[in-house]
Amino acid sequence: MAHGGDTPPGPFPLPVRGEPGARLDPARRRPGRYCYLFDVDEELAGDLDLRMRLVARPLATARVEEISAGEFDLIPLLAQLRGGLGLLLVDGVVALDVQVGDRTASELVGAGDLLAPWTSAADVVLLASETFSRALVRTRVAVLDQAFAERIRPWPQILHALLRRAVRRTMELNVHRAATCHPRADARIALLLWHLAERWGVVVADGILVPLPLTHRLIGQLVGAERPSVSHALARLASAGLVTREPDGLVLHGTAAHHIACLVDRDERSARA
Considering the entire predicted model, what is its pTM?
0.82
State the average pLDDT for the chain. 86
Assess whether pLDDT exceeds 80 at residue 17: no
**Residue 40 binned pLDDT confidence (cut-offs 50, 70, 90):** very high
By C-alpha distance, which of 2, 113, 111, 15 is closest to 58?
2
Assess whether pLDDT exceeds 70 at residue 123: yes
Chain center to CA of 219 = 15
By C-alpha distance, which of 138, 113, 117 is closest to 21?
117
pLDDT of residue 124: 82
**Residue 117 binned pLDDT confidence (cut-offs 50, 70, 90):** confident
Assess whether pLDDT exceeds 80 at residue 120: no
Alpha-carbon distance values, 183 to 108, 180, 189, 235, 271 (Å): 22, 8, 11, 17, 14
**Residue 152 binned pLDDT confidence (cut-offs 50, 70, 90):** very high
**Residue 42 binned pLDDT confidence (cut-offs 50, 70, 90):** very high
- The sign of the dihedral angle between the CA atoms of 183, 189, 190, 195 is positive
Domains of the chain: 29-177 (2.60.120.10), 183-272 (1.10.10.10)
Query: What does the DSSP 8-state code read for residue 195?
Result: H
